[in-house]
Amino acid sequence: GNGCASPGPTLLFVKTSRAEEQGRRFYACSACRDRKDCSFFQWEDEKVSEARLAAREEYNRNHQPSFTHRQNAERLKNFILLPLSQRKFCQDCQQLLLPAEWQEHSGHQFQCDISTAQLKTPSQLLYPLENKKTNAQYLFADRSCQFLLDLIIALGFRRVLSVGTPRLHEMIQSKASQDKDFSVRSLLLDIDFRYSQFYTEDEFCHYNMFNHYFFGGEAAQETCQQFLYQDTGERVIMVTDPPFGGLVEALASSFKKLMTMWRETEKEGDNNQEMPMFWIFPYFFESRILEFFPSFSMMDYQVDYDNHALYKHGKTGRRQSPVRIFTNITPRRVVLPIEEGYRFCTICQRYVSSGNQHCEICNSCTSKDGRRWKHCALCNKCVKPSWIHCDKCNCCALQDHSCERTDAGCFVCGKAGHKRSTCPRLSLA
| Phi and psi at residue 90, to the nearest 5° | -85, 115
Q: 6 contacts which partner out of Zn ion, ligand SAH, none, CB within 5 to 8 A by kind?
A: none
Query: How crowded is residue 307: how many other Cβ atoms within 10 Å of its Cβ?
Result: 15
Q: For residue 300, how many C-alpha atoms fall within 13 Å in the half-sphere facing its CB? A: 30
The whole-angstrom distance between residue 226's C-alpha and the CA centroid of its chain comes to 23
Under rule CB under 6 A, residue 241 binds ligand SAH: yes
Least CB distance to ligand SAH at residue 89 (A):
18
Report the residue from 10, 135, 223, 302 that binds ligand SAH according to the rule CB under 6 A: 135
Q: 382 contacts which partner out of Zn ion, ligand SAH, none, CB within 5 to 8 A by kind?
A: Zn ion
Least CB distance to Zn ion at residue 333 (A):
16
Q: Which is nearer to ligand SAH, 28 or 168 (CB)?
A: 168
Sites for ligand SAH among residues 245-284 (CB under 6 A): none
Least CB distance to ligand SAH at residue 209 (A):
4
> Which residues is 159 bridged to in the sheet?
185, 236
Indicate the residue type of 264: E
In three state form, how does the secondary structure of the chain look?
CCCCCCCCCEEEEEECCCCCCCCEEEEEECCCCCHHHCCCEEECCCCCCHHHHHHHHHHHHHCCCCCCHHHHHHHHHHHHHCCHHHCEEECCCCEEECHHHCHHHCCCCEECCCCHHHHCCHHHHCCCCCCCCCCCCCCECHHHHHHHHHHHHHCCEEEEEEECCHHHHHHHHHHHHHCCCCCCEEEEEECCHHHHHCCCCCCEEEEECCCCEECCHHHHHHHHHHHHCCCCCCEEEEEECCCCCCCHHHHHHHHHHHHHHHHHCCCCCCCCCCCCEEEEEEHHHHHHHHHHCCCCEECCCCCCECCCHHHCCHHHCCCCCCEEEEECCCHHHCCCCHHHCCEEECCCCEEECCCCCEECCCCEECCCCCCCCEEECCCCEEECCCEEEECCCCEEEECCCCCCCCCCCCCCCCCCCCCHHHCCCCCCC
Report the residue from 5, 88, 192, 367 that binds ligand SAH according to the rule CB under 6 A: 192
Q: Which is nearer to ligand SAH, 206 or 288 (CB)?
A: 206
Under rule CB under 6 A, residue 325 binds ligand SAH: no
Q: 97 contacts which partner out of ligand SAH, Zn ion, none, CB within 5 to 8 A by kind?
A: none
Report the residue from 96, 114, 168, 259 that binds ligand SAH according to the rule CB under 6 A: 168
Q: Tell me which residues touch Zn ion (CB under 5 A).
A: 345, 347-348, 358-359, 361-362, 365, 375-376, 378-379, 382, 389, 396, 410, 412-413, 423
Q: How far is CA 187 from CA 121, 184, 195, 224, 395, in A?
A: 15, 11, 12, 8, 46
Question: How far apart are the C-alpha atoms of 396 and 406, rounded to whole Å?
Answer: 16
Report the residue from 167, 288, 312, 368 that binds ligand SAH according to the rule CB under 6 A: 167
Report the residue from 190, 203, 300, 369 that binds ligand SAH according to the rule CB under 6 A: 190
Least CB distance to Zn ion at residue 31 (A):
22
Q: Which is nearer to Zn ion, 308 or 375 (CB)?
A: 375
Q: Which is nearer to ligand SAH, 140 or 283 (CB)?
A: 140
Q: Which is nearer to ligand SAH, 88 or 159 (CB)?
A: 159
Q: Which is nearer to ligand SAH, 41 or 387 (CB)?
A: 41
Q: Which is nearer to Zn ion, 168 or 412 (CB)?
A: 412
Least CB distance to ligand SAH at residue 250 (A):
9
Q: How far is CA 284 from CA 249, 358, 424, 429, in A?
A: 15, 20, 8, 12
Angle at CA 101, nearest 5°, toward 100 and 104?
130
Nearest residue relative to ligand SAH (C-beta)? 164
Q: 389 contacts which partner out of Zn ion, ligand SAH, none, CB within 5 to 8 A by kind?
A: Zn ion
Under rule CB under 6 A, residue 207 binds ligand SAH: yes
Under rule CB under 6 A, residue 209 binds ligand SAH: yes
Least CB distance to ligand SAH at residue 308 (A):
9
Report the residue from 10, 72, 165, 302 that binds ligand SAH according to the rule CB under 6 A: 165
Sites for ligand SAH among residues 15-44 (CB under 6 A): 31
Q: Which is nearer to ligand SAH, 243 or 276 (CB)?
A: 243
Q: 254 contacts which partner out of Zn ion, ligand SAH, none, CB within 5 to 8 A by kind?
A: none
Q: Which stretch binds ligand SAH (CB under 6 A): 8-16, 98-106, 137-145, 330-338?
A: 137-145
Q: 139 contacts which partner out of ligand SAH, Zn ion, none, CB within 5 to 8 A by kind?
A: ligand SAH
Site for ligand SAH, rule CB under 6 A: 31, 135, 137-140, 164-168, 190-192, 207-210, 241-243
